Amino acid sequence: MRNSWEYHATDAKRQPGPPVTPIDPAELVRQYHERIPDPSRPGERVSFGTSGHRGTPLDGSFTEAHILAITQAICEHRAANGIAGPLYLGKDTHAVSPAAERTALEVLAANGVTTIIQEDDGFTPTPVVSRAILAHNAGRGARADGIVVTPSHNPPPDGGFKYNPPDGGPADTTITGAIQDRANALLAARNRDVRRMPIERAATAATTRPMDLVAPYVDALAGAIDLDAIRRAGIHIGVDPLGGASLAYWPRIAARYGLDLTVVNPVIDPTFSFMPPDHDGRIRMDCSSPWAMAGLVKLKDEYDVAWGNDPDADRHGIVTPGAGLLNPNHYLAVALEYLLAHRPRWPAAAKIGKTLVSSALIDRVVRTAGRALYEVPVGFKWFAPGLYDGSCCFGGEESAGASFLQRDGSVWTTDKDGLLLGLLAAEITAVTGRDPGTLYDELTVRLGAPVYTRIDTPCSAEEKKAFQRLTPEAVTASTLAGDPIESRLTRAPGNGAPIGGLKVTTAHGWFAARPSGTEDVYKLYAESFRDDAHLKRIVAEAREIVQGVIRSGGGG
């Protein structure tokens, strides 16, 4: 059942459409600076989701005013919490990211915050910021933190802005809630209390320090990956940065460690017009999407293993000659089984983290290895504390994001690292003599072959509220697709945190439903360890269950 997986957007596979009209970067930046958001409109307020504030100048949801307010709120948060070390400021290659970086720098400099940026106006991946924060904080002195200007894999018109506190990972909801509230108060007061200086002064201020952030990350990689094994095996590697921030890193990694690595697409273009359309006809730099990754998949037979990264390089998409693009769940299961067998210095008591909508194949790998599972809601922030203190040796989520400890059991990053997971695929191939696609086939012979899907279904604002009121007792069904229901969850088993939805499990399958934070849909995830017909039954019955509990208002 290699690569049995699907993604459906409102139950429809992508249909060919008219050519995508490229964005006008200059016009986008003009609107970023000139458009004034209306804080009375929910869509134009600061809103931190699972990965910071995201939006677009085109509808007033990502503007200079937003970044001024958020950055001032971060400065005040730092002062209130005694964070007096440097702030690492990174950006990706989206069209408005450089403009937002300049805005942030104007505020940081005016507030006297020592800010470290990539020299020569370069781009910085999310995991590099995380790694830099942790490396600094491993020594003595004032604590560092960071900001990454990125909307991740979102379409070209979008912008994003996220904060990483001193533990290096995505900020938790307590921190982001406070920053969001303060930023909205500043926004409502037309940013009168924002400290700011012109960019010409900010760029040359004593507190603004351009540095080479590439070398420290590249030099440290050998602590996390067996790069000598990759070099000795002569693994032929292909990498597509998808026009993102990892582009400058791959040649230096190849040169530093003597790897046979080819960057198949060296283009940086903020229109991303080289990208194939995604499932809905829009451009997304989503390295887990078979549509967006079509260019690299065409080259799959030219390399022993290949991968792509999204613009801020916190996600990975692994491509092998036989399988093409691996389902992220499948690769995470293979990666985890390999790591547990080849990292003898990892703490035996360290748990394995996964989001509750990731494949249950991961559960089976963990059980077989005799390790403890740590299952949490969607969002990588839940793994950061455990990765930081070593109580969690691996954290992975269904959307192709993961990180893990260094080979000696110490922390690597506490944010997702797509470069790391790509290089791990090469290490796996070098050490085992088999690529991750082949190893996945072997794994399913032993542990079962899952069939997985995710479906987006329209959902009103009132229906979304019902998800927040869900209780396990609201599910009155005793079976799912012919199997007895074993659990009904509205809180994650690993940490007891609300999942914002529902998960129902049996011995042979499961489904989970949760509303989208940015679109008027709910996401239905489902998996079967029987076959496609069984998966379809799970989906059909899941919809009935979800609609039933929504109609009841979520209560039992």
Residues noted as catalytic = 152
Q: Is 495 left (phi over 0), alpha (psi -120 to 50) or beta?
A: alpha
**What's the CA gap between 126 and 245, in Å, rounded?**
9
Identity at 361, one-letter amino acid code: L
Half-sphere exposure of 518 (CA within 13 A, CB side): 15
Cβ neighbors of 42 (< 8 A, separation 6 or more) are: none
Q: In this structure, what DSSP letter does residue 351 have?
A: E
Contact assessment for residue 205 and residue 106, using Cβ atoms and an 8 Å cutoff? no
Cβ neighbors of 547 (< 8 A, separation 6 or more) are: none
Cβ neighbors of 241 (< 8 A, separation 6 or more) are: 247, 250, 263, 265, 266, 308, 309, 313
Strands 208-211 and 115-118 turn out to be parallel
- β-bridge mates for residue 261, sequence order: 237
- β-bridge mates for residue 452, sequence order: 5, 527
C-alpha distances out from residue 469 to 264, 473, 490, Å: 48, 11, 9
The Cβ of residue 380 has, within 10 Å, a number of other Cβ atoms equal to 26
Contact assessment for residue 109 and residue 230, using Cβ atoms and an 8 Å cutoff? no
Q: How far is CA 172 from the centre of its chain?
A: 15
- β-bridge mates for residue 211, sequence order: 118
Q: Helix H segments across 114-209?
A: 126-137, 173-188, 199-204
Coil, strand or helix at 207: coil
